[in-house]
Structure 1
Amino acid sequence: MSDTSPADDEEYAVVLDFLAHGRSDGRGYGDGPLAYAVSTDRFTLYELSLAPDADISILDRVRIRPDFEAGIDRGREVGYDDLSDGARSELDYVIEDVVDDEEQRFVDFYNDAQPISLRLHQLNLLPGIGDKLRDNILDERKRGPFESFADIEDRVDGLHNPREVVVERILEEIREDDLKYQNFVRS
């Protein structure tokens, strides 16, 4: 018997752009409606082929795993460069919303981050966090777990806006497909 429930296998994405007539770049224009979306768990980018009568709009939250939401015929993972301009412009806002909606998940990253190697720590992958700031974070979390982004900012000297630091790293991991280490994006 498995220890995971069916809900543990569910994954959702937020629609970044909806193209009623498909791509306009000559690669399948008129093939039917499609949408671009980003998953809220693994931050994977998707191109979703939609049924002609699909009731899906920008910023809708749709199920993508274990099976697609009604109205989505099929989907495939895509890279940042494959997104439409509209999807790219929405991505920053959607990532900010996900981080806000799931604040504890990202606060727990600060609580649980571990060394990657003898010389590199997961915290060092965050923008603006060098060895000194990393050590300050590690010292403060020994005193007790962080409760919120505000708690992190209050307790760690020199770390301003820990929420924005996480958002910036997620976006960097989405945009750059050749990063050696990733904290948040998984395909």
Structure 2
Amino acid sequence: MREGHEQNKREFEDYAYVLDFLEYGYPEDTRPLHQKKPIAQAFGEKQFVMMELTFKDNQVADLAEKLYIGKGKREKVEFVSKMLKYEQLTPTAKTELLHVIKEAVKAQEERFVEFLNNCGPITNRMHTLQLLPGIGKTSMWKVIEEREIKKFESFKDFEDRVRKNIVDPLAKRIEEELKEPQKHYVLVKWKTTH
């Protein structure tokens, strides 16, 4: 089990982004049509879990649509059926994943600015920032120098001072952490242990 993942299970998602909507369920489901319910594969906005949602009758969803799945009255979703692993995602869901991760990162700007301001070295030779795609030693040192002068206040502040888009590297790292086992999980668990 992923480090920090047990903590994630204790908290519930309130919103999820649709990765793929299957009006008649999975193609390999051989039950008669009248026994099938519409389902979606989705991505949780805060805990970054992939899940299967069962929809209420006559409800549909668009790709990347943000749906309420929390406790209480839900407009479209009947219930969360199960948690999914990356390998269980449909080809459409895999294609959509990076896009919705970017939306989730933008929706939690404060959380990730805190990460950029506070993440530290993993070993004597490697800093957490270097795990972000496109952030090499030069960029890492620029981030560290800038945050010592003044903590970053927003993504825009980061991008103005470091001269680098940061949403894409954050989203790509989260996708990597979801796709396959990692030696270091830095973003999927951030804020659950800090």
- When the two structures are superposed, what TM-score results if normalisation uses the length of structure 1? 0.77
Structure 2, unaligned runs of 5 or more: 1-10
For 1:40 and 1:99, locate their aligned partners in 2 and report how far apart those are by CA, in whole Å. 8
The Cα of 1:133 is off from its aligned counterpart by 2.6
User: Per-residue displacement from partner, 1:46-72 (whole Å, max 9, x unpaired)?
Assistant: 112233344544333234445783532
Aligned-residue CA RMSD (Å): 2.9
- Picking from 36, 44, 65, the partner of 2:41 is 36
Moved more, 25-34 or 10-19: 25-34
Show the counterpart of 1:48. 53
For 1:75 and 1:38, locate their aligned partners in 2 and report how far apart those are by CA, in whole Å. 13
Show the counterpart of 1:125. 131
User: Per-residue displacement from partner, 1:72-125 (whole Å, max 9, x unpaired)?
Assistant: 234211112211222222222222222333333322221121233344322121
For 1:74 and 1:147, locate their aligned partners in 2 and report how far apart those are by CA, in whole Å. 35
Show the counterpart of 1:166. 170
- Picking from 103, 109, 114, the partner of 2:109 is 103
Q: 1:17 to 1:68 in 2, by over 3 A?
A: farther
Aligned-residue identity in percent: 34
- Picking from 19, 24, 29, the partner of 1:21 is 24
Moved more, 27-36 or 127-136: 27-36
- Picking from 2, 11, 15, the partner of 2:14 is 11
SS at match of 2:16: strand
Q: 1:140 to 1:27 in 2, by over 3 A?
A: farther
Matched-pair contact (CA < 8 Å) for 1:43–1:184? no
Q: 1:81 to 1:113 in 2, by over 3 A?
A: same
SS at match of 1:13: strand
Q: 1:10 to 1:165 in 2, by over 3 A?
A: closer
Q: 1:117 to 1:140 in 2, by over 3 A?
A: same
SS at match of 1:169: helix
For 1:135 and 1:82, locate their aligned partners in 2 and report how far apart those are by CA, in whole Å. 38
